[in-house]
């Protein structure tokens, strides 16, 4: 999320009605808020979280668990590419009264064409009012990349070399027994973004069922800030086999630093992404005969054909 040019201009020309709270003063504070506060609030707000048991797992090592769930995630990643679904995105800017002051919304159907090629069709996209809010902001390429790749987080065998994955313990989430890990990038490559946070893995299916974290790195350069709030993504079992991401909520205060006489800007952002209507795609083929598509035509009845082709009986002499 980026502050627009008008946002900086408004900051230079207006005085805030109440003192602004600078929540993200440094990148260190940002990471502490992202990685500690969301999990604490989630645990307090949701009685479905049991007590974390930090003792090592029995009959299996943490390294074996990581290898096993990464292989399972690789299977799921390939399987998800063969599903159609609907993605609903709503991004709100909230004012001091926690009322919506600006909104971006888009509903997209992810489908396949007749040739089996994956396509995206926008089915609902009302006017974007983020730029019309009291603190005008705009969606950045990083925001759209996050929606596609990090909110529905998948950690496959191929991804493991990029991440440090540390075992934290075991925890019951609702009716699921899970292993909990801390995951983050080993190193930051230029022009790349990563997930950093906690991952809950089902002990039976060895698949991710919950994540809580943020996108890293975040651009905190003055007048170039590109910030994303912490998020939590929930997964559900679809078709009785794989756990699919179905709901993400991200919320937090994003601080755009003061400079050149302009006041600092705090933006309270809330986004919700829903992934619904998962259906497995089944490829179809056409049957062409003499240039005519006869795919849906029924085979002729052999008995009818036989009767039609028989000559009439000879007249008695």
Residues of the chain with pLDDT under 70: 3-47, 259-262, 283-317
What is the model's pLDDT at position 295? Answer: 55
d(CA 200, CA 221): 33
Asked if the structure places residue 302 within a domain, the reply is no
What is the model's pLDDT at position 241? Answer: 93
Is it true that the peptide bond before 217 is cis, omega within 30 degrees of 0?
A: yes
What is the model's pLDDT at position 268? Answer: 95
Phi, psi (deg, nearest 5) at residue 222: -60, 135
What is the model's pLDDT at position 276? Answer: 98
State which H helix or E strand residue 165 sits in: strand 163-173
CA-angle at 45, arms to 42 and 50, nearest 5°: 70
Count Cβ neighbours within 10 Å for each residue of 143-170 and write b for 16 or more, e otherwise.
beebbeebbbbbbbbebbebbebebbeb
What is the model's pLDDT at position 314? Answer: 47
Q: How close are the terminal C-alpha atoms of the chain, in Å? A: 97
What is the model's pLDDT at position 313? Answer: 47
Domain limits at 64? 2-280
Asked if the structure places residue 304 within a domain, the reply is no
Tell the residue number behind the tokens 């794989």, with chain if given.
242
List the one residue out of 204, 217, 215, 200 whose CA is nearest residue 165. 200
SS3 124: strand
- Into how many domains does the chain fold? 1
What is the model's pLDDT at position 222? Answer: 80
Asked if the structure places residue 23 within a domain, the reply is yes
Phi, psi (deg, nearest 5) at residue 192: -120, 150
What is the model's pLDDT at position 223? Answer: 79
Asked if the structure places residue 266 within a domain, the reply is yes
Asked if the structure places residue 316 within a domain, the reply is no
Residue by residue, DSSP assigns 49-105 as B---B-SPPSSS-HHHHHHHHHHHHHHHHHHHTTEEEEEEEEEEEE-TTS-EEEEEE
What is the model's pLDDT at position 289? Answer: 56
Sign of the C-alpha dihedral computed for residues 15, 18, 24 and 25 taken in this order? positive
What is the model's pLDDT at position 123? Answer: 98
Asked if the structure places residue 153 within a domain, the reply is yes
CA-angle at 252, arms to 251 and 258, nearest 5°: 145
d(CA 224, CA 122): 29
3-state secondary structure 218-254: CECCCCCCECCCCEEEEEEEECCCEEEEEEEEEEEEE
Yes or no: say if 227 and 254 are a contact pair by the CB < 8 Å rule: yes
Asked if the structure places residue 286 within a domain, the reply is no
Count other C-beta atoms under 10 Å from residue 78's C-beta: 10
**pTM for the whole thing?**
0.76
Q: Which two tokens stand for residue 89?
A: 């995105």
Asked if the structure places residue 230 within a domain, the reply is yes
């Amino acid at each position: 999320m980026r502050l627009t040019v008008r946002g900086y201009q408004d900051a230079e020309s207006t005085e805030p009605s109440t003192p602004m709270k600078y929540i993200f003063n440094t990148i260190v504070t940002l990471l502490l808020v992202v990685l500690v506060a969301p999990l604490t609030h989630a645990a307090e707000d949701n009685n479905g979280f049991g007590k974390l048991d930090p003792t090592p797992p029995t009959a299996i090592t943490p390294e074996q668990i990581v290898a096993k769930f990464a292989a399972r995630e690789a299977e799921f990643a390939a399987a998800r590419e063969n599903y159609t679904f609907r993605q609903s995105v709503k991004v709100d800017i909230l004012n001091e009264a926690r009322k919506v002051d600006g909104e971006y919304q888009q509903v997209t159907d992810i489908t396949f064409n007749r040739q089996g090629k994956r396509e995206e069709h926008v089915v609902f996209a009302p006017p974007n009012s983020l730029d019309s809010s009291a603190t005008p902001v705009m969606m950045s390429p990083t925001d759209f990349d996050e929606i596609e790749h990090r909110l529905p987080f998948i950690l496959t065998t191929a991804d493991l070399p990029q991440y440090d994955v540390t075992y934290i313990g075991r925890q019951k989430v609702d009716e699921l027994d899970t292993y909990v890990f801390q995951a983050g990038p080993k190193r930051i490559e230029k022009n790349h973004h990563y997930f950093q946070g906690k991952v809950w893995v089902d002990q039976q299916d060895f698949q991710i069922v919950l994540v809580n974290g943020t996108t890293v790195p975040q651009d905190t350069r003055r007048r170039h800030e590109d910030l994303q709030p912490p998020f939590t993504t929930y997964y559900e079992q679809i078709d009785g086999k794989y756990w699919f991401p179905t709901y993400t909520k991200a919320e937090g205060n994003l601080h755009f630093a003061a400079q050149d006489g302009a006041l600092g800007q705090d933006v309270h952002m809330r986004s919700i992404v829903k992934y619904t209507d998962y259906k497995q795609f089944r490829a179809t083929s056409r049957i062409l005969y003499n240039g005519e598509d006869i795919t849906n035509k029924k085979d002729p009845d052999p008995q009818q054909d036989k009767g039609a082709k028989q000559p009439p009986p000879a007249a008695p002499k």
